[in-house]
Structure 1
Amino acid sequence: MDYRYGNHTVFNIEYHFVWVNKYRCKALHGDIALRVRELVRQTFELFGIRITKGVVSKDHVHIFVSAPPTLAPSEIRRRIKGRSATKLFEEFPHLKKRY
């Protein structure tokens, strides 16, 4: 096991997140998939969350992460989905028309 250390804590908390596009449309391909991967990495690095494994498929995203005990799973999910969706809609306007 790979334990992580805080100031007064030792922890190994891991979460498996899966989320899908609206209507499971196969929209995550090419530049969009690369950008999703980059946004997820940036967001998790910003909040001190370590990605153990992750896959961006055409219609869904799987991520297995190790997070500090101060972040609830719902908070992690909210931050990653909200930030990535906002940036993707700004950078790829044709996605906003469809979704």
Structure 2
Amino acid sequence: MKYNLQTGSHTVYALQYHFVTVTKYRADVLSDEISERIGEVVNDLAGDFGVEIQNVNGGSDHIHILFTAKPTTDMTKFINSMKGVTSRKIRSEYPEVKQSLKDSFWQPGYFLASTGQVSIDVLMDYVENQ
């Protein structure tokens, strides 16, 4: 089993996450330009939380973000900041989006999963055979 390890003063870790959120009412407002802008905003914000963005992509009504984080990252605070900042910036920079989605840009919920560099079956087998 090979991990992309990161280190702290007393820790070694490999924490990768897959985040997905959708636009309010699943409105088709995410053009390539807007998705790229979301990626820029998220990258700017990530450093404040000790997060490294690996990839940002999505469709016309949702966005996927792959990122790595530290064990001390307050995940709820990071995600709420990410959604809030991107919402404010996109609605202010793209008036056509603000017309479509007046009060909020994202749905309140989201999907977040920790990812591994091996499948769960391989990991279960590894743990069982230790």
TM-score class, shorter = 0.7 to 0.9
Bigger mean CA offset, 74-83 vs 37-46: 37-46
Q: State how 1:1-99 maps to structure 2 within 5 Å.
A: 1-99=3-101
CA-CA distance at 1:15 after TM superposition: 1.6
In the alignment, the residues of structure 1 paired with residue 55 and residue 100 of structure 2 have an alpha-carbon distance, to the nearest angstrom, of 30
Structure 2 portions without partners, runs of 5+: 102-130
CA-CA distance at 1:54 after TM superposition: 2.8
RMSD: 1.6
SS in 2 for 1:71: coil
Structure 1 portions without partners, runs of 5+: none
Runs of 4+ displaced beyond 3 Å: none
SS in 2 for 1:55: strand
Highest Rg: 1 or 2?
A: 2
SS in 2 for 1:23: helix
SS in 2 for 1:19: strand
Identity fraction in percent: 33
SS in 1 for 2:72: coil
CA-CA distance at 1:90 after TM superposition: 1.5
Question: In 1, are the aligned partners of 2:22 and 2:63 still within 8 Å (CA)?
Answer: yes
